[in-house]
Amino acid sequence: MAATSHSLQWMTVTMTATLRTLITLPRMLRHGAAVGAHLPPDASVVLDPPTPELRTALTAAYAGDHAPARDLLAATRLGAEWERRGGYVPRLAESALHSPGWLDAWLAESPRDPDALLVKAEHRVQQAWEIRTGARASDVSPDQFRAFFALLDDAVPVISAATELNPTDPVPWQVALTHARGSQAPRAVFDAYWAEATARAPHHYGCHLSALQYLCDKWYGSHEEMFDFAERAAAEALPGSKLNALPLLAAVEYDVVADGAPSEGGGPIDRSRIHAALRRAQELSDAYPHDDPEVAGVRNHLALMLILADRHGEALEQFRAVGVHATEYPWAYLGDARGEFLDFRAGVRMQVAARVPFFSRPKPYESQAGPSAVSPSSPSVPYCLALVAAPPHAVVDAALMCGVPLRIAPAPGRSSYVELAADPDPGVRATLLGEDRLTSAADNITTGEPWPALILRRTGDRWGFTLLQGGKKVADHNWDPAAPVPDHATVTATAAALAEAYGVKDTRPLTNLLRGSDAPARRQSALVAALGLPPIPPGFGTRDEILTTLPDAQILARRGFLAGILDTLSGDPAGRPPLPRRRRWWALRITALLLFTPVTAYAWWSPDIGWLRASLSTIATCYVAGQLAGAWRRRRGRVGKG
């Protein structure tokens, strides 16, 4: 009886879910394009983008110049801007992990500089954590642990020197709190560090964040202790302080990381505390303008928690407020951070669209700060161009079902340039494509075809490419002057994929171009030349629709999914550029007509064939004859106009 009851319950749940899908799917299809239309495009979204002044320092650091970083941190020290300082130091230390020369030069020049020693202290701690990794203790080898603790021991005198050289600075104690967590320091040591940090800056966000991790259940505290700490800090916080979001971070730690599991010896956290954390974080988010990077981390955490609470409309508002400023956490808890951010954002749009009545319209988006979409003058606006190793008529035939309008222009070497054409009213498929629409279109163009497509990108001073072949993404690379260069193994694999796709025998020039981030525009152009591809058209990366200036550039109009299938099967050129047919096309159809015509005559003459098969052969013959007649008329029309 119990098994029968469970079976009936499962069937009821399944039928309910199926019915809900049938009801909501038409709403998603109707309203999906309108809901969230003001969100910035996927290609504009950057993970943890640095502020302009930090980006300048990072770019110089990767180029070997420590002066901008020195000046930036000196300004925060002299101005007692401890919050900014607490955010800058970890990013600069991370750059030193991948390019240590600039920090070594700084210390050689000024061995007692408090800013240089502070970055070195954070660098030593990060170096240790990089060896340990973020895996569970059971998955870390004994050799990793030995190296981890040895590097943490080496960090102690550097942290001590940083605290002594700038006694009023709380940021060395932020580093010390992180060190305490890794070195398994007892509670008395943690409490002493915490007292030193709060004596210098009672409301320092970075120090509170480090302390929260020490006190969480997965380290040395419990869920209850973590929430008590976070709620107490928020209650004492100043208006507008990010400490008001500390209970939200505790809620993410509890609901997402620990999956709501009770602490050992303790019970579950009351849900009212989670709801209160969300309310407080929403009030904090509302106090800041849209696209403000200062609270981007808060808004990313808040969006995820609202989704988990099935409050998709409010989550969509947070995604609008986030704009292009995705953050690594909380999304890295779920997988690839940027990919998870984009997937959750698209899912929220569809959930909101599903709740709009079919014959209604989504509520127009209104914001006192204006839409959060990227303006044409923004340095975050993305520019994309595809280089397809096939002539335009072949690209047209392959792109009929891509769902977006394309501008296609012939390029040297029987290749094609392809870009997105203006589309003031994109369809639902364009909304659901994900990533950037040109990459999704290239996915269609290369599916089942022998040729590859290279998608070139530029967003601000970041340049890159994506290689697609056989409808799959086989390589991806970015030249970002403010980010670490990919490791040698990754670059080697990317160069090998490019060489295989384009028949390049020597991968060393490709590897050299990928193993650096200086002069990214030059590196991108040089890579295209090394692959034997046509040159990048002038103006790429500075304005949209650069192919309008090229001769013979024509637009392939967007069509619906069913229309794309019919056009693919029929060869109907309605809405397609009037490009000439290939010789192979003519040969195949003439051969088919010569074959179908006698077969049809025999089918109607022979009494054994039957009327059904005779009718089918007649339809096939008429279909091929119609294709040939239409193509011949269009060919004569082009000749006449010429």
Per residue in 405-440, pLDDT tens? 889 999 998 899 998 887 666 655 555 555 577 888
Q: What is the pLDDT, as a whole number, of residue 434?
A: 53
Position 64: which residue type?
Answer: G
What's the distance, CA 430 to chain centroid?
A: 17
Task: Kindly tell me the number of DSSP H helices and DSSP E strands found in the chain.
Answer: 25, 9
pLDDT mean over 546-553 = 87
Q: What is the pLDDT, as a whole number, of residue 273?
A: 94
Lowest mean pLDDT among 121-125, 502-506, 614-618: 614-618
Q: What is the pLDDT, as a whole number, of residue 50?
A: 92
Lowest mean pLDDT among 126-140, 428-442, 518-532: 428-442
- For residue 34, pLDDT over 90 is answered with no
pLDDT mean over 8-18 = 46
DSSP character string of 184-210:
T--HHHHHHHHHHHHHH-TT-HHHHHH
Q: What is the pLDDT, as a whole number, of residue 182?
A: 92
- For residue 13, pLDDT over 50 is answered with no
Pairing of the two strands 46-47 and 325-326: parallel
Position 200: which residue type?
Answer: R
- Inter-residue long-range contacts of 496-504, CB under 8 Å, 24+ positions, other chains counted: 497/467, 498/467, 498/527, 498/531, 501/452, 501/467, 501/469, 501/474, 502/389, 502/452, 502/531, 502/532, 502/533, 503/532, 504/530, 504/531, 504/532
| 503/592 Cα distance (integer angstroms) | 35
pLDDT mean over 66-87 = 96
Quick check: 432 and 30 in contact, CB under 8 A?
no
Q: What is the pLDDT, as a whole number, of residue 80?
A: 95
pTM of the model: 0.80
Torsion of CA 332, 336, 338, 339, to 10 degrees: -130
Q: What is the pLDDT, as a whole number, of residue 585?
A: 67
pLDDT mean over 546-556 = 86
For the chain, state the CA radius of gyration: 30
Q: In the structure, what pLDDT confidence band is assigned to residue 508 with cuts at 50, 70 and 90?
A: very high
Q: Which of 502-540 are b and which e, b meaning 16 or more Cβ less than 10 Å from the residue's Cβ?
A: bebeebebbbebbeebeebeebbbebbebbebbebbeeb
| 82/162 Cα distance (integer angstroms) | 14
Q: What are phi and psi of 140, to 5 degrees?
A: -100, 130
- For residue 9, pLDDT over 90 is answered with no
Dig out the tokens for 494 from the structure: 């990317």
Q: What is the pLDDT, as a whole number, of residue 584?
A: 67
Q: What is the mean pLDDT of the chain?
A: 83
- For residue 377, pLDDT over 50 is answered with no
- For residue 487, pLDDT over 60 is answered with yes
Q: Which helix (H) or strand (E) holds 41?
A: none
State the helix-helix crossing angle for 114-132 and 67-78, rounded to 10 degrees: 110
Percent of the chain's residues with pLDDT above 90: 51
- For residue 460, pLDDT over 70 is answered with yes
- For residue 204, pLDDT over 50 is answered with yes
Dig out the tokens for 386 from the structure: 């595809």
pLDDT mean over 222-240 = 94
- For residue 44, pLDDT over 90 is answered with no
Q: What is the pLDDT, as a whole number, of residue 42?
A: 81
Q: What is the pLDDT, as a whole number, of residue 274?
A: 95
**Residue length, the chain?**
642
Q: What is the pLDDT, as a whole number, of residue 439?
A: 84
Lowest mean pLDDT among 2-16, 86-100, 419-433, 464-478: 2-16
pLDDT mean over 151-175 = 95
Lowest mean pLDDT among 79-93, 211-225, 382-396: 382-396
| 576/145 Cα distance (integer angstroms) | 63
Q: In the structure, what pLDDT confidence band is assigned to residue 370 with cuts at 50, 70 and 90?
A: very low
Q: Which helix (H) or strand (E) holds 457?
A: strand 452-459
Q: In the structure, what pLDDT confidence band is assigned to residue 85 with cuts at 50, 70 and 90?
A: very high
Other Cβ atoms closer than 10 A to 210: 25
Q: In the structure, what pLDDT confidence band is assigned to residue 3 with cuts at 50, 70 and 90?
A: very low
Lowest mean pLDDT among 112-126, 252-266, 335-349: 252-266
Lowest mean pLDDT among 253-257, 486-490, 533-537, 566-570: 566-570
Q: What is the pLDDT, as a whole number, of residue 356?
A: 76
Q: What is the pLDDT, as a whole number, of residue 641?
A: 41
Q: In the structure, what pLDDT confidence band is assigned to residue 402 with cuts at 50, 70 and 90?
A: confident
Lowest mean pLDDT among 183-187, 453-457, 556-560: 556-560
SS3 content of the chain, % helix, strand, coil (to 5): 60, 10, 35
Give the best-scoring range by mean pLDDT among 326-335, 405-414, 455-464: 326-335
Other Cβ atoms closer than 10 A to 397: 20
Q: What is the pLDDT, as a whole number, of residue 575?
A: 47
- For residue 572, pLDDT over 80 is answered with no
- For residue 371, pLDDT over 70 is answered with no
Lowest mean pLDDT among 117-121, 262-266, 267-271, 546-550: 262-266
Q: What is the pLDDT, as a whole number, of residue 363?
A: 72
DSSP 8-state symbol, 63: T
| 371/321 Cα distance (integer angstroms) | 9
Lowest mean pLDDT among 75-89, 172-186, 306-320, 627-641: 627-641
- For residue 399, pLDDT over 70 is answered with yes
pLDDT mean over 178-182 = 94
User: How does pLDDT run across 278-313, given as a tens digit for each residue?
Assistant: 999 999 999 999 989 999 999 999 999 999 999 999
